[in-house]
């Protein structure tokens, strides 16, 4: 693999830009990554003297698909059992991102996603695909659920509404959707055996599917397909989990034949203690430059997006640009037009005004919508009678900001009933929380640990008190701090306050596990569940995510 840009790579990039008229805002050669808008010349680009740091997002967004529509970049990610699913991120420079919406508004794929007799942990939204179709100015999301069927959603704006149109009988595992230059829809998918399917013009049925490549045993497993048409050739970008990236190229059409080349293997990543960047997507800027947005395994926090520039060899193969033989911790910022506005930060304060939740929030499984509301705070009414947080509906989660961050909530617990449990958790397959227990008319603030699952995601521990204190009055501030630097188990700590100013530590450090098999990283979680009878409620009037 090339370590730096050669003259041939530069010539190739310039040839691509010239041949496709990018300077005048013409259609990109990367068909699957969406076209630039036709019309006036592009706005002047911002100089690339500034640097950006990796990871570009230090929050858990995995299995990235990234596209550009005009001057805006969009990315999609996996969310497993969280609802709504498949977040759509938006950026104007590939570096600063915001969460714009979700492609899958509700996980309506069976009762287990409602915590109704079964659970959907580590199921749901796996690696899926986001594309834009210029002929009807529509965004498409496509993904398989439970290895059984493929679902297609569309929207004319990423904020929604997103509409589910159809299900396809073939489960397109780790799908990559391509909108070809003639408007035909193709899907690359599979694990080790890679196939390509052609969809009907409306995208709702399968016209044909064909195996196009079988991974050599010397390589191992390839999956995580992303499908592109670049300069008249077809490319399927594939990951070798979790330490490599390969690409297939065809000059003979979408069904091949394909030849394979290694893009990276065992490459040092930009996060100390983290893994090899992989399983992302390629995207081209308005000026013709190419970038690879991958993710880095960085547990206990999850999988963090990292960005690197890409050049092309004279014969059409991508080369990731390295810094001292590694994925750079920083690079020159992409040269792009000035943004129309600043994106919404992924940290800060939420007071739950309005009538909907901000897109930063996702529920643990589908919520019971009759048991929560927003407006002058978030009201959580008890929705489940259980002594197991993993079975409790209406647990609301927020990604943790790395490398360290703190969540602080102001909570009115005056509406709790005997047997109720409410608070702020560090949630994963091993969890702990700080919150309120209401028993015999008395409310105490407690720190609870020992909530655990096995590798089949069955509960093995419902938790036990590690510390407690009196909770006078009806209002309290709860705080959880998390260190999610990867490489070893990291501490989470809990504290509380009765005035919002002076906080008192409660309980010992909680050791956050870094096993990858749960896939999703730790999250902050707000919850309220009953252990005796429904009817109680709490109100969260303020949530703040802050970094040191």
**Cα 409 to Cα 101: distance, rounded to the nearest angstrom:** 23
Identify whether 337 is part of a domain: no
Reported pTM: 0.91
Identify whether 179 is part of a domain: yes
* Residue numbers of the domain that contains 312: 7-39+50-332
What confidence score (pLDDT) does residue 489 get? 85
Is the sign of the CA dihedral 21, 22, 24, 27 positive or negative? positive
Identify whether 110 is part of a domain: yes
What confidence score (pLDDT) does residue 44 get? 41
**Cα 458 to Cα 217: distance, rounded to the nearest angstrom:** 34
Identify whether 393 is part of a domain: yes
Strand ranges of the sheet holding 223-230, from the earlier edge strand across to the other edge: 223-230, 233-240, 244-250, 259-265
Co-location of 534 and 506 in the same domain: yes
What confidence score (pLDDT) does residue 247 get? 98
Identify whether 341 is part of a domain: no
- pLDDT per residue as tens, the chain (548 positions): 433 333 333 333 333 333 332 222 222 333 333 333 322 233 344 444 699 999 999 999 999 999 999 999 999 999 999 999 999 999 999 999 999 999 999 999 999 999 999 999 999 999 999 999 999 999 999 999 999 999 999 999 999 999 998 799 999 999 999 999 999 999 999 999 999 999 999 999 999 999 999 999 999 999 999 999 999 999 999 999 999 999 999 999 999 999 999 999 999 999 999 999 999 999 999 999 999 999 999 999 999 999 999 999 999 999 999 999 999 999 999 999 999 999 999 999 999 999 999 999 999 999 999 999 999 999 999 999 999 999 999 999 999 999 999 999 999 999 999 999 999 999 999 999 999 999 999 999 999 999 999 999 999 999 999 999 999 899 999 999 999 999 888 999 999 999 999 999 999 999 999 999 999 999 999 999 999 999 999 999 999 999 99
**Cα 4 to Cα 368: distance, rounded to the nearest angstrom:** 53
**Cα 95 to Cα 73: distance, rounded to the nearest angstrom:** 10
Co-location of 407 and 301 in the same domain: no
Co-location of 214 and 84 in the same domain: yes
| CATH number for 436 | 2.60.120.200
Domain boundary (332, 363, 398) is at 332
Co-location of 381 and 506 in the same domain: yes
CA dihedral 293, 299, 300, 306 (to 10 degrees): -20
Co-location of 470 and 503 in the same domain: yes
What confidence score (pLDDT) does residue 27 get? 27
Contact 485, 297 (CB under 8 A): no
Helix (H) or strand (E) holding 431: strand 430-439
Co-location of 232 and 373 in the same domain: no
Co-location of 161 and 249 in the same domain: yes
Identify whether 44 is part of a domain: no
What confidence score (pLDDT) does residue 49 get? 61
Identify whether 476 is part of a domain: yes
Contact 290, 13 (CB under 8 A): yes
Co-location of 123 and 267 in the same domain: yes
Co-location of 413 and 515 in the same domain: yes
Residue of 297, 336, 328, 324 whose CA lies nearest to 310: 328
Q: Which residues does 398 contact at the CB level (< 8 Å), separation at least 6?
A: 360, 361, 362, 407, 523, 524, 525, 526, 543, 545
Co-location of 415 and 525 in the same domain: yes
């Amino acid at each position: 693999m090339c370590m730096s840009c050669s003259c041939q790579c530069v010539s190739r990039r310039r040839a691509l830009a010239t041949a496709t008229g990018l300077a005048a805002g013409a259609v990109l050669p990367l068909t699957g990554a969406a076209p630039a808008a036709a019309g006036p010349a592009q706005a002047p680009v911002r100089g690339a003297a500034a640097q950006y740091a990796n990871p570009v997002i230090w929050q858990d967004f995995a299995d990235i698909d990234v596209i550009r529509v005009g001057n805006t970049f969009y990315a999609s990610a996996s969310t497993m059992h969280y609802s709504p699913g498949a977040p759509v991120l938006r950026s104007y420079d590939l570096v600063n991102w915001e969460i714009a919406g979700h492609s899958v508004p509700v996980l309506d794929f069976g009762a287990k996603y409602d915590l109704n007799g079964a659970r959907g942990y580590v199921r749901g939204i796996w690696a899926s695909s986001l594309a834009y179709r210029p002929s009807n100015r529509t965004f498409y999301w496509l993904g398989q659920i439970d290895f059984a069927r493929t679902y297609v959603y569309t929207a004319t704006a990423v904020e929604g509404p997103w509409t589910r149109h159809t299900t396809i009988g073939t489960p397109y595992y780790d799908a990559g959707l391509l909108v070809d230059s003639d408007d035909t829809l193709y899907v690359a998918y599979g694990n080790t055996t890679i196939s390509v399917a052609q969809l009907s013009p409306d995208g709702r049925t399968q016209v044909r599917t064909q195996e196009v490549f079988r991974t050599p045993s010397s390589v191992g497993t390839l999956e995580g397909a992303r499908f592109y048409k670049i300069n008249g050739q077809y490319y399927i970008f594939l990951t070798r989990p979790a330490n490599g990236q390969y690409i297939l190229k065809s000059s003979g059409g979408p069904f091949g034949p394909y030849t394979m080349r290694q893009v990276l293997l065992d490459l040092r990543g930009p996060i100390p203690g983290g893994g090899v960047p992989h399983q992302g997507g390629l995207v081209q800027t308005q000026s013709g430059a190419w970038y690879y947005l991958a993710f880095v395994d960085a547990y206990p926090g999850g999988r963090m997006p990292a960005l690197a520039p890409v050049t092309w060899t004279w014969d059409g193969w991508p080369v990731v640009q390295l810094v001292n033989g590694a994925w750079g911790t920083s690079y020159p910022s992409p040269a792009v037009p000035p943004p129309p506005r600043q994106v919404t930060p992924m940290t800060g304060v939420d007071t739950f005004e309005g009538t909907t939740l901000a897109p930063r929030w996702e529920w643990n499984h589908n919520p019971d919508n009759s048991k929560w509301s927003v407006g002058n705070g978030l009201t959580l009414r008890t929705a489940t009678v259980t002594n197991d947080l993993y079975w409790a509906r209406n647990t609301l989660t927020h990604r943790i900001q790395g490398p360290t961050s703190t969540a602080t909530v102001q909570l009115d617990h005056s509406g709790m009933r005997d047997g109720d449990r409410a608070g702020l958790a560090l949630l994963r397959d091993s969890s702990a929380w700080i919150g309120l227990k209401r028993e015999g008319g008395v409310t105490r603030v407690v720190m609870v640990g020992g909530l655990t699952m096995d590798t089949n995601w069955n509960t093995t521990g419902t938790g036990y008190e590690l510390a407690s204190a009196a909770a006078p009055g009806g209002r309290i501030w709860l705080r959880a701090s998390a260190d999610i630097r990867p490489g070893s188990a990291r501490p989470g700590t809990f504290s509380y306050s009765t005035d919002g100013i002076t906080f008192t530590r409660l309980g010992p450090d909680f050791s956050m596990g870094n096993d990858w098999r749960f896939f999703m990283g730790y999250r902050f979680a707000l919850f309220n569940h009953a252990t005796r009878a429904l009817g109680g409620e709490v109100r969260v009037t303020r949530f703040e995510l802050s970094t040191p």
